[in-house]
Structure 1
Amino acid sequence: MTSIALCLSREDAAKSRADEVFLWDGTAGDSFNTGLRPDLRQLGTVPSVNADFVRVALTVYVADHSVRRERGGSNWNQRDFVLTVPVVHGEEWHAAAAGFERTLAFLTGDRWTLQFAQLAPPEAGGALVPDTAVRTVLVSGGADSASGALVSAASLRPGGGQRLVSHSSSGAGASAPQQRVAAALEVLFSGTTLHHHQVHLQRRSHRLNGTRFRREPSSRSRSLLFLALGLAVASQSGHGLWIAENGFASINPPLGPERVGALSTRTTQPWFLWRVGSLLTELGGYGEIENPFQALTKGDEYRRVVELVGAERAAAFLSATNSCSHSDQQYLGEVASGSHCGKCFGCVLRRAAFAAADLPDATPYLADRGGRFAEYAEQRSIENAVRDFVDAGVDESFLMTIPLPPGLTVADARALYARGLAELGNYLG
């Protein structure tokens, strides 16, 4: 069991007896590389329950990335965490803790115990300026979220606006495609307005005492903080948060019986999104979350973009996004961080979607460059596993055991699963 504490003052950090202590006080010497202050003022006037949720999500995020899993297993090597998080609504969070603990266990495969330190309510600010944005959309820089932002922009009336929220923890490699998406939308939909919140929030490499944190490379909780930041922004307009991902990936089918939920993280799994939103609403916070592509494959999603902006613009827009699962290509030299390998699952699904939508793909893939670049990509190739996955067909036992939210039936999930497999099979041949 590992105890983790998030502290908002040096005094509290010094008194903590947790195994790992993270300080977030907005000073240069705290535990985070970020311009975001603990009061979240850069995001606007955030309701206190949603500000609490940002702190909960941040603590989960740093715990997940700072405690190593044991190697060699297929069930994500379950860890045991006890978190202490400062919150304004301590009584309400204590009452809701068990529900959040079960939801986090589903997300990461670990055991979580949530404890809370009482935090004084924030001082009352000035008059709240109404947020007239029609929608808030999470933009990661990937093709799914970019498509979601485009579909949202296309739905706006002249003069209407939306807010985009992005999070990065690795610098320019992630932020550049996010900026490209925002810039492209301003050109494609010049009669509308958007405000882009780009939040860089990364744990520093060293503890407060100067020793180095351990680093866990798996990333099951990678988007929980992203989701919390998006809800913090969306709460101010009350018009909903979109977290866009193709429905095939969101239901998270396994590549094989020994690789449960290996296609993606579970952060957009429909039951998970519904459960997080429900728990926050019960707490008195804002939790309206929607995946606009829940019923679509990635190919369907690309075709929707074509319908809205035409094939030529759609191809250019989608080719400028980033879907690769690997971020270390820069070690090859002559290759910018964020380049696509062409062989990981993210790249294979991306390439299959371009083919399904009959769109030219201008993405530069290392696998297509030959020489050491192709060798690098082949070492990371998951194509054979995907072929076996397609040949195996729909896993009925998986469908009978996954939780689904109200309104999504097993028959719906099965049909989506089959269509996603067909797109992959058509691409791989």
Structure 2
Amino acid sequence: MTQLVFHHDIEQLKNLPNGVIPVHLYGVGNKKLQIANIGNKVLDEVKRLSIEPSDVVMDFLTIALAVTAADTFVLRKDTANGWCRSLSITLPLCQPDIWQANKTHLEQILHFLSGDIWQFNFQAGGKLPPQPHKLNSRAKLVDLRNKGCVCLFSGGLDSAIGAIDLLEQGYSPVLVSHSYKGDKSRQQMIVEKFNQSRYANQFSQFNAIAQPHLNNGGATEITMRTRSLNFLAFAVVSAYALQEVIQKEIDIFVPENGVISINAPLTSLRVGTLSTRTTHPYFIQEIQKLFTAVNIPFTLKNPYQFKTKGQMIAECKNLPLLRQIIPDTVSCSHWKRKNQQCGVCVPCLIRRASLHYAGITNDAQYEFNDIRQILINQDRKDDLFALIRAIHQKNDRNINQWVLQSGRLPIQQLNQFANVFVDGLNEVEQLLIANQIL
């Protein structure tokens, strides 16, 4: 079991036993002493909300950062099966007793999310909530006045639709972003178009980035199955501040089409944690239960759980604006390699199918603009062929059992989950027929 020890006081991380990974929380670490760090600039962003988080909300942010650090610093390839890691995390919190009572549930949620074995050792003495910037400070504050909800905003097509639909319904959201390198510029392109529309001054933004650094020259893990936990933590911090300002219950919207959310394995080789579960209904359900148990009083909602991406586009409440925004959005799982969407991965193919379904032709440029080129590229055709196999099987397989392979689902809604999965495959099928691949 790999041990990681976290603390906001770097002095507490010196002289640890060999093999233990020391991680400086909310600090800069120390390259000379090989002390890793995460969250160096997060508290500066939290202060811009002008509201001091509660201890429990602060603890959830601390836990999320620790999980992201462990997920980044420990390589899967070094494990016995090349995937499942055993991770022991020693972490000081403001309210360790509350989290200790819910430790087993948290560990189970993270196991579902990442496929790893998680073990927490919560201690007293956690990082206290930061004192917020005041209204008369020079810092640029997040304007929470007259805002009504929080919405995750990644710069992807689904989150853009989610934001537009909320704005059209008069929700005035706080758009929360985990601004990885490259993502922020995409997010700002979309926001700029919002500001040029009638939505100007009807929303606010909260951006933060975890920035884990190992500081020992070693390689880091790139699968990042737990990245959604940081995203949710930033949303929770924002929701707490908003609740304190408007004194109403706050919803956190997680806009994601049902096909990607369920993420049913397309082939037998893709079963399990080789597929991401960041918005899977079971994960969202269990996080909601955890929130209730620790008194984080916000409701997570995905309005598009039973919609395909194509249906989301076609039913968008401001389609003219969405048409302008589409080329700025990113769906690709590999786009940072060449700063361009590949056009051949499953998310790209689902995106292209959804635009075809909605009759929209203005899109971003892809590495493979002609889908037929994928057929003759030996190294890049796996995802396309996996989708083709799934399309051929959809009329013969038990769809309810198929969608359950990615994780538990509410039995009373199982037919709805099955229907949206098949509808998504149908959208891809129509794209491939139009391109004479099927």
TM category (shorter chain) comes to 0.7 to 0.9
1:314-353 correspondence runs (5 A): 314-330=322-338, 337=339, 339-353=340-354
Residue of 131, 137, 141 corresponding to 2:155: 141
Query: Hey, what's the Cα distance between the residues in 1 that align with 2:431 and 2:337?
Result: 24
Match in the other structure for 2:141? none
User: In the TM superposition, what are the counterparts of 1:277-316 in structure 2 within 5 Å?
Assistant: 277-305=288-316, 308-310=317-319, 312-316=320-324
Match of 2:212 among 203, 212, 217: 203
Amino acid at match of 2:369: D
CA RMSD after TM alignment:
3.0
Residue 420 (structure 1) aligns with: 424
User: What letter is aligned with 1:47?
Assistant: S
Q: Does 1:108 align with 2:114?
A: yes
- Counterpart of 2:24 in structure 1 is 23
Report the alpha carbon displacement of residue 248 of structure 1 after superposing the two structures with TM.
1.2
* Residues 337-360 of structure 1: per-residue CA shift (max 9 Å, x gap): 2x1111111110110010111111
Which residue of 2 is the match for residue 95 of structure 1? 101
**In the aligned structure 1, how far is the partner of 2:217 from the partner of 2:414?**
46
1:286 to 1:251, Cα distance in 2 relative to 1, 3 A: same
SS in 1 for 2:56: helix
One-letter code aligned to 2:94: V
Could you say if the C-alpha distance between residues 90 and 376 of structure 1 is closer, same or farther in structure 2, counting changes exceeding 3 Å?
A: farther
Return the alpha-carbon distance in structure 2 between the equivalents of residues 220 and 119 of structure 1.
28
Q: Which residue of 2 aligns with 1:183?
A: 192
- Displacement after TM superposition at 1:8 (Å): 0.5
Provide the rounded CA distance (Å) in 2 between the counterparts of 1:316 and 1:341. 21
Is the 8 Å Cα contact of residues 252 and 261 (structure 1) preserved in structure 2?
A: no
The Cα shift of 1:186 comes to 2.1
Cα distance in 1 for partners of 2:127, 2:67 equals 22
Amino acid at match of 1:229: F
Deviates further, 231-240 or 129-138 = 129-138
Task: Decide which moves more: 276-285 or 13-22.
Answer: 13-22
Distance between the aligned counterparts of 1:38 and 1:87, measured in 2? 19
CA distance in 2, matches of 1:149, 1:254: 29
Report the more deviating stretch, 102-111 or 356-365: 356-365
Q: Structure 1 pair 131/28, CA: closer, same or farther in 2 (3 Å)?
A: farther
Compute the displacement of 1:405 (Å). Answer: 5.8
Change (3 A) 1:264 1:143: farther
Change in CA separation of 1:365 and 1:282 when aligned onto 2, cut-off 3 Å: same
Matched residue type, 1:111: I
1:32 to 32, 38, 47: 38
Which residue does 2:415 correspond to in 1?
411
Contact 1:136–1:241 under 8 Å retained in 2: yes
- SS where residue 366 of structure 1 aligns? coil
The match for 1:249 among 237, 257, 260 is: 260
**Counterpart contact for 1:26–1:38, Cα < 8 Å:** no
Is the Cα–Cα contact under 8 Å of residues 367 and 377 in structure 1 kept in the other structure?
no
Letter in 2 for 1:63: A
Q: Quote how far apart the aligned CAs of 1:185 are.
A: 1.9
TM-score (norm 1): 0.86
Q: List gaps (5 residues or longer) in structure 1.
A: 331-336
TM norm structure 2: 0.84
- The match for 1:222 is 227
- Output one character per residue of 1:385-416: Cα deviation in whole Å (capped at 9) or x when no partner: 21112212154433345555658611111111
8 A contact 2:251–2:301 mirrored in 1: yes
Q: Is the 8 A contact 2:58 2:128 kept in 1?
A: no
Q: Distance in 1 between matches of 2:99 and 2:20?
A: 23
Aligned to 1:11: 11
CA–CA separation in structure 1 for the residues paired with 2:179 and 2:40? 10
Q: Distance in 1 between matches of 2:280 and 2:358?
A: 24
Mapped contact 1:342–1:377 kept (Cα < 8 A)? no
> 1:131, 1:411 → 2: CA distance?
41
| 233, 236, 239: which one aligns with 1:234 | 239
Q: Could you tell me which of 44, 49, 65 is aligned with 2:72?
A: 65
